[in-house]
Amino acid sequence: MLTLATGLDALTRFGRALADPIRCRILLTLRDAPAYPADLADALGVSRTRLSNHLACLRDCGMVVAVPDGRRTRYELADERLGHALDDVRTAVVAVAADRTCRDADEQGCC
């Protein structure tokens, strides 16, 4: 049974999905069109096992859905508005200090 995440829970799930560069690339690829895992793995240059793990995370976060297509499974964004949100986040201006990375901030517990 599916439930709908809203508000803070939806933001938390979106953040978790975007926390890995490979998951970001998967989402951006699916923003353009649904795709099959083998095609995604080839396009992104990652192993099918690694891709499968990231797709499982994205499914758990509610960002993508698996759609049966005959003997194959196709993946697509769970909601077309996620594509618009990805575009908004990707084009947003983020203010960062020149001498600091998010990884540096994470070690100090603030990112």
Say how far apart CA 12 and CA 5 lie, in whole Å.
Answer: 10
Residue 61 lies in a domain: yes
Q: Does an H or E element contain 39, and which?
A: helix 37-44
Residue 110 lies in a domain: no
| Per-residue tokens: 36 | 């099959």
Task: Give 39-83 pLDDT, tens digit per residue.
Answer: 999 999 999 999 999 999 999 989 999 999 999 999 999 999 999
Cα-atom radius of gyration of the chain, to the nearest Å?
15
Residue 103 lies in a domain: no
The total domain count for the chain is 1
Residue 20 lies in a domain: yes
Residue 73 lies in a domain: yes
| Per-residue tokens: 96 | 């960062």
The predicted model scores a pTM of 0.80
Residue 53 lies in a domain: yes
Residue 78 lies in a domain: yes
Q: Give me the residue label for tokens 């096992």.
A: 49
Q: With 70 as the cut, is the pLDDT of residue 22 above it?
A: yes
Q: With 50 as the cut, is the pLDDT of residue 108 above it?
A: no
Range of the domain at 54: 9-92
Average pLDDT of the segment spanning 2-19: 77
Kindly report which listed range (6-20, 26-40, 42-56, 75-89) carries the lowest average pLDDT score: 6-20
Residue 24 lies in a domain: yes
- pLDDT of 111 reads 44
What CATH number has the domain bearing residue 14?
1.10.10.10
